[in-house]
């Protein structure tokens, strides 16, 4: 008996060898048996050397295997090649010199193979090729547990500060993940409203367990979100790790809904009934500016959110804005110290030019996105609207010439539902100036969030303006990538790469 465990390429080799066997059988009638024997032995030698066959005589004791090995082998498929009779019957009357002259091929399972009665005295030769090239079930489970153990070690420094929920508690809190409990969804997750205990309402983020990156994303978000403590940031309450059911993050529930729903929502084709008051819009701008400033300057390590947009800004019952969803957030060594990421992630319309063109990430990435949010608060428009007239589809491109007009552009910029009064004119102008500074296409001319906060609050001579007044007098830049020549774009790329350190931002989260 000869056994080989391999793949399709080796099966093709076996087929070639078999045809050679049959050819040798036909030639045996006219030629000397000695020539046939030499050829057959040469072919078998080739199979042994190239395919790694091993020969042995089966013993009764070898048929008895442990239950563990039997279970792991039952899923394997075998290609059976028998010489002579069926099921290992002896070759009666066969010439010993042409024992390989007649082969039968069939597929069988491990159970069927073991049930075949092949005695040790049988002169038939059996070639068995294992066609299974995948992981068996026990191996897959072992790898899954290793990943879970690695994940547990990675989050151990902060795990004691959070509540660990069981999967049963998650299931009960969401009413078995009822569709009526869905709050939103992302590219790799769903968010459900749930109730834990008698009074606590939470938002449960369920990550896609089939995604290969879910463990890394879970670890990164948990590590970052658990370290944040600010009134304008949604706090992380706890988590759940279940090897079979997946990974879950549990946040405090914010009852007022998202800013996107208040500004843009058209539920069942019907527009919102009321316009968000200017006082609320201005309050949102100040609150989110404080949240971003905390991320960039108020923590031990600078955090870049990378996905600031109205759907990730929640409003409490008292209209206090809270930044949420840290699924794309990452640490940087310090504010204004950029790095290159391998893949660009985020929402189109909010991505800074240096980010989506070159993968360059820094705190200025968030500043640009915040500028787009300010434009949405001012205009009531979405960042990208294909149904708009030509030239108005992109909010930033449409708004820049109007921002240059200062007070003269208020009438065209401002949401028609907002009235410009003596009381709010100064706040509107402050938001216009802040938005214009944020959406500067050149990262070097884009202020940090501290300076943006100063502009929003109307503080005289903000630090950035006083320092850069000569080159920043109008706040607006006239940079238009579409009008640049190829040489200018190459020059811009070279400048964009200055001072960039290249590293993968997630690697430090895992034990290597």
Backbone angles phi, psi at 337, to 5 degrees: -105, 100
- Which tokens go with 449? 């969030």
Q: Give the count of alpha carbons within 13 A of 80, CB side only.
A: 19
**Whole-angstrom distance, CA of residue 74 vs CA of residue 136:** 10
DSSP class of 390: T
Residue 201: beta bridge partners?
Answer: 195
* 87, 114 contact by CB (below 8 A): no
Residue 325 falls in the annotated catalytic set: no
Q: Which helix (H) or strand (E) holds 449?
A: helix 449-457
Residue 129: beta bridge partners?
Answer: 4, 79
**Whole-angstrom distance, CA of residue 226 vs CA of residue 234:** 10
Instruction: Identify the CA nearest to 127 among candidates 237, 18, 269, 287.
Output: 18
- Which tokens go with 31? 């030629």
Q: Give the DSSP letter string of 77-107.
A: EEEEEEESSGGG---TT--GGGTTS-EEEEE
Catalytic site residue from 36, 307, 366, 505: 307
- Which tokens go with 208? 């896609």
Other Cβ atoms less than 10 A from the Cβ of 77: the count is 13
DSSP class of 442: S
**Whole-angstrom distance, CA of residue 352 vs CA of residue 438:** 10
The catalytic residue positions are 307
């Amino acid at each position: 008996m000869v056994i080989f465990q391999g793949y399709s390429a080796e099966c093709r080799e076996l087929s070639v060898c078999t045809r050679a066997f049959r050819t040798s059988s036909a030639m045996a009638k006219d030629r000397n048996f000695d020539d046939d024997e030499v050829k057959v032995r040469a072919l078998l030698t080739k199979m042994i050397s190239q395919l790694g066959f091993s020969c042995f005589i089966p013993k009764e004791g070898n048929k008895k295997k442990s239950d563990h090995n039997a279970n792991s082998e039952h899923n394997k498929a075998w290609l059976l090649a028998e010489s002579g009779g069926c099921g290992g019957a002896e070759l009666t009357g066969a010439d010993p010199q042409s024992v390989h002259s007649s082969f039968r091929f069939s597929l069988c399972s491990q159970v069927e193979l073991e049930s075949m009665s092949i005695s040790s005295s049988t002169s038939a030769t059996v070639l068995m090729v294992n066609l299974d090239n995948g992981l068996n079930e026990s191996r897959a489970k072992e790898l899954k547990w290793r990943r879970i153990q690695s994940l547990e070690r990675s989050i151990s420094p902060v795990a004691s500060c959070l509540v660990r929920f069981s999967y049963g508690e998650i299931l009960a809190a969401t009413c078995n993940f009822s569709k009526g409990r869905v709050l939103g969804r992302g590219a790799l997750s769903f968010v459900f409203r749930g109730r834990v205990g008698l009074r606590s309402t939470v938002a449960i983020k369920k990550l896609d367990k089939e995604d290969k990156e879910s463990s890394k994303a879970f670890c990164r978000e948990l590590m970052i979100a658990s370290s944040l403590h600010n009134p304008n940031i949604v706090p992380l309450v706890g988590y759940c790790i279940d090897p079979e059911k997946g990974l879950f993050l549990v946040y405090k529930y914010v009852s007022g809904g998202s800013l996107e729903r208040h500004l843009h929502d058209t539920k069942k084709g019907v527009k919102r009934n009321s316009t968000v008051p200017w006082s609320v819009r201005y309050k949102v701008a100040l609150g989110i500016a404080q949240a971003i400033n905390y991320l960039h300057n108020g923590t031990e390590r600078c955090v870049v959110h990378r996905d600031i947009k109205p759907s990730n800004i929640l409003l409490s019952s008292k209209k206090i804005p809270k930044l949420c969803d840290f699924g794309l957030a990452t640490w940087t060594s310090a504010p204004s110290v950029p790095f290159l990421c391998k893949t660009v992630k985020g929402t189109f319309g909010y991505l800074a030019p240096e980010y989506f063109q070159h993968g360059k990430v820094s705190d200025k990435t968030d500043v640009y996105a915040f500028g787009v949010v300010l434009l949405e608060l001012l205009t009531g428009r979405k960042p990208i609207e294909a149904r708009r007239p030509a030239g108005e589809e992109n909010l930033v491109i449409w708004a820049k010439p109007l921002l240059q007009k200062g007070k003269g552009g208020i009438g065209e910029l401002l949401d028609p539902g907002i009235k410009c009064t003596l009381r709010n004119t100064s706040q509107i102008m402050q938001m216009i100036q802040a938005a214009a500074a944020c959406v500067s296409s050149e990262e070097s001319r884009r202020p940090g969030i501290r300076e943006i906060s100063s502009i929003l609050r109307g503080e005289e001579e903000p630090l950035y303006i006083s320092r850069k007044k000569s080159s920043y007098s109008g706040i607006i830049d006239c940079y238009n990538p579409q009008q640049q020549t190829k040489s200018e774009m190459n020059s811009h790329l070279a400048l964009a790469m200055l001072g960039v350190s290249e590293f993968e931002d997630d690697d430090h989260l895992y034990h290597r």
